[in-house]
Amino acid sequence: MHTSALVLFSGGQDSATCLALALERYPRVETLAFDYGQRHRVELQARIEVLAQLRARFPAWAPRLGADHVLDASVLGQVSDTALTRDTAIRMEAGGLPNTFVPGRNLLFLTLAAALAYRRGLEVLVTGVCETDFSGYPDCRDDTVKALQVALSLGMDRRLVIDTPLMWLDKAATWALAERLGGAELVDVIVEHTHTCYLGDRSHRHDWGWGCGSCPACELRARGWRRWKDGGP
Ligand code: ZN
């Protein structure tokens, strides 16, 4: 039985839901984010607000919530040229991947997370990667994550579990999961304080939260919200 977890908590809807799930499951939970010069750096602010809200509004979870870590991963901006780290328009590339794909990003994040978990004595990594609302990111695939779990466990000679609770959920099911975990209170925290928009827009408020409303991340979040609310397409 595992008792401790490190949650990759970027400040978005998915990772906030994963954090709530981890707080439900594990007595000791720490959080981690990466600063890699992302255009939507506002998410780094958002996550601090989400942590404060969880501490203040969920007394059963608050004592379980331990240290928060932010690691510098700006090296990603040096090795890749993508719409997440450069001021270029978001579009689909010829290979079928959006130019928001940062090659190796999740591989690097999970590897750094594993190293941090090793030092902190945390047994499980929790990440909100998802194959269902698949943006086509190959490093979010179940096979990729399972392979990495094996590689990291071998390479660090310590059994490490990578828990991916959202892997087979769509965005509507993720909203439903948040409601099941923390009721309307948690849904409210996620709507108001998490950040998803790739463009870092915090000036337009929709019923599903803040964002430009038209980038792929906003569209996915809005569509999931509508499907969860209305059961529509
Ligand atoms: Zn947006």
Confidence of residue 139 (pLDDT cuts 50, 70, 90): confident
Cα(169)–Cα(142) distance, rounded to whole angstroms? 12
Confidence of residue 233 (pLDDT cuts 50, 70, 90): low
Rounded percentage of the chain residues whose pLDDT exceeds 70? 88
Q: Rounded to a whole number, what is the largest CA-CA distance in the chain?
A: 49
CA 89 – ligand 1 centroid, Å = 12
CA 90 – ligand 1 centroid, Å = 10
pLDDT at 122 over 90: yes
- Give residue 82's pLDDT: 61
pTM: 0.90
- Give residue 92's pLDDT: 66
What does the pLDDT average to over 147-175? 96
What does the pLDDT average to over 153-176? 96
CA 69 – ligand 1 centroid, Å = 26
Handedness of CA 53, 51, 209, 43 (dihedral sign): positive
Confidence of residue 95 (pLDDT cuts 50, 70, 90): low
CA 160 – ligand 1 centroid, Å = 34
**Token pair of 2 as six digits:** 């595992």
pLDDT at 83 over 90: no
Q: How many residues does the chain have?
A: 233
Provide the terminal-to-terminal Cα distance of the chain, rounded to the nearest Å. 39
Residue 52 to residues 25, 78, 131, Cα–Cα distance (Å)? 20, 32, 30
CA 68 – ligand 1 centroid, Å = 26
